[in-house]
Amino acid sequence: MLLSHSKQFLFVHIAKTGGTSIRDALSQYRWGHRYAAAQFISNKMSQLCGHKIGSRFPRHSRIIAAKEMLPEDFFYGLY
């Protein structure tokens, strides 16, 4: 799953459908909001120490995960 604050979209990666290619093409838009730097650092620290702190959505998350974790008005405003 890939979330872009700057372009207001959420890409839901469905397994075995070519999602990696789409994700690669869209990945340039994933940063660009006020928490991007903190999210990046948090994600890297999570990877280094082996803890999963929920700083990003896993690649094959279901849309319900985003709906539950994002503010309702923001979620429904996404493409």
Distance (Å, whole) CA 9 – CA 52: 24
pTM across the whole model: 0.64
Q: Indicate whether 51 pLDDT > 70.
A: no
> Taking residues 56-73, what's their average pLDDT?
80
> Taking residues 57-74, what's their average pLDDT?
81
Instruction: State the pLDDT at residue 1.
Output: 77
Q: DSSP readout, 10-40?
A: EE---TTTTHHHHHHHHGGGS--STTHHHHH
pLDDT digits (tens, 9 = 90+) for 6-41: 888 989 888 888 888 888 888 888 766 666 666 667
Q: Which residues are bridge partners to 26 per DSSP? A: none
Nearest C-alpha neighbor of 22 from the set 38, 4, 6, 39:
4
Nearest C-alpha neighbor of 25 from the set 2, 8, 57:
2
> Taking residues 32-60, what's their average pLDDT?
67
